Amino acid sequence: MRPGQKIEMHPTEQMPLVGILGAGQLGRMLALAGYPLGLRFRFFDPAPDAPAGQLAEHFVADYTDEDALRRFAQGVDVFTYEFENVPVEAVRFLSRFAPVYPPPAALEAAQDRLSEKTLFRHLGIPTPPFAPVDTREQLDDAVRAIGLPAVLKTRRFGYDGKGQRVLRTTNDVESAWQALGGVPLILEGFIPFEREVSVLAVRSRTGETAFYPLVENHHRDGILRLSLAPAQSSIFSHQSSISNLHSLACDYASRLVAALDYVGVLAIEFFVQEGRLLANEMAPRVHNSGHWTIEGAATSQFENHLRAVLGWPLGATAMRGLAAMLNLIGALPDAQAVLALPGAHLHLYGKAPRPGRKLGHITLQAEDRESLYNLLEQARPIADL
Ligand code: AMP
């Protein structure tokens, strides 16, 4: 090596380059977590105004554009994705250039509600009763087998409650079929759950695995509005019941990460019913119900996802006090009013307001439940909750 050769190389060029499919707020928060570790980021997203593009290199092209994917791949050390509807073909194509985590098989399973629930069942993870529906006759058969009420959902591309109809009586069957029929569907028994909870697991390339505490989630119009970490509603008031549910969730998550040889953060959403957990869905990526970890855990889900996909040691997942996360949907809050609350942290994603759009979130932190609930009452009107 000639003396001085090293000097020609800009130091940042030696840092791992992480290529991320999808440049939404999840990608943006991944980059924000990775910069302190010296990582570099490059995003791929067809939307020119995607939020992560404000802070990293952004390739704007369709996910089916192989030339663009090839250019995007140049020099990337590891790929990941922050959007679960990214075509599996794009992910498999990129795996020719560098490792892709989470593994494409996990993405494939998560993209189809039927494959996902079949996988859960295969691993002994309880789910609501379900049946595939491709024809009107199959819908009638499924309604007979499962009973009403039930939920008819599209198998693919559903999120935030989109692409689903609740069937309460047989009169609803035809209208639900009219609304959704024509694409592969799944009928699920309607679960009169007591709460919705989620668990985040993270597994590194080395096999090291960790779990975040079980979180309680509250939705409105199918969109997550509030997460409480750890789950702390009165239904969980018996300490044993929450720790039992947490152990159960970790057990189910362990089965999934082992079966999928998983790498990265995996989120699993469950319904809680009479002390049982029924798996609703999984997301092979960082998850909205884990945003509280940025301030509320020793290591955020975003940092741990990056550590995992790089094969680096995972950080501790222990909580720092109690946390609540409120999503900001459709309208921006009065930022100063948020910041005036003690223990409140504001995260805005750089997106233009639009009805139903996730624009940011607020994390509240407190040492005890009473203080957290007081803070929450103050934050609710500011976050329009
Ligand atoms: P999903 O898109 O499957 O996450 O569904 C969005 C929301 O609809 C969930 O968070 C639940 O509140 C509700 N939901 C979905 N499936 C069911 C079900 N089988 N029983 C009762 N509620 C459901």
Residue-level pLDDT at 70: 98
Q: Backbone dihedral region of 262: left (phi > 0), alpha (psi from -120 to 50 degrees) or beta?
A: beta
pLDDT(12) > 70: no
Was domain 129-189 assigned CATH 3.30.1490.20? Answer: yes
Whole-number Å distance, alpha carbon 161 to ligand 1 midpoint, is 7
Task: Say if pTM beats, i.e. exceeds, 0.75.
Answer: yes
Residue with CA nearest ligand 1 atom 17: 190
Rounded percentage of the chain residues whose pLDDT exceeds 70: 95
Q: Is the pLDDT of residue 289 over 90?
A: yes
User: Which residue spans within the chain are E strands per DSSP?
Assistant: 17-21, 40-44, 57-59, 78-81, 130-133, 150-154, 164-167, 185-189, 195-203, 209-211, 215-220, 223-229, 264-273, 276-283, 322-329, 344-348, 358-366
d(CA 102, ligand 1 centre) in Å: 24
Kindly list the protein residues whose Cβ atom lies closer than 6 A to any atom of ligand 1: 128, 151, 158, 161, 188, 190-191, 196, 219, 222, 280-281
What's the pLDDT score for residue 159? 66
DSSP character string of 259-324: HHT--EEEEEEEEEETTEEEEEEEESS--GGGTTHHHHBSS-HHHHHHHHHHTPPPPP--BSSEEE
Question: Which of the listed residues 84, 133, 151, 269 should we mutate to test ligand 1's pocket, taking the one with most ligand atoms within 8 A of CB?
Answer: 151
CATH class of the 17-100 domain in this structure? alpha beta
Query: What atom of ligand 1 comes closest to residue 191's alpha carbon?
Result: 20
| pLDDT above 70: residue 143 | yes
Per-residue confidence band for 160, with pLDDT thresholds at 50, 70 and 90: low
Ligand 1 pocket: which of 120, 195, 280 to mutate (most atoms <8 Å of CB)? 280
Examine the pLDDT at 9 and tell me if it is beyond 80.
Answer: no
Q: How would residue 2 be classed by pLDDT, with cut points 50, 70 and 90?
A: very low
Interval between CA 309 and ligand 1 midpoint (Å): 30
Superfamily (CATH) of domain 195-382: ATP-grasp fold, B domain (3.30.470.20)
| Domain range annotation of the chain | 17-100, 129-189, 195-382
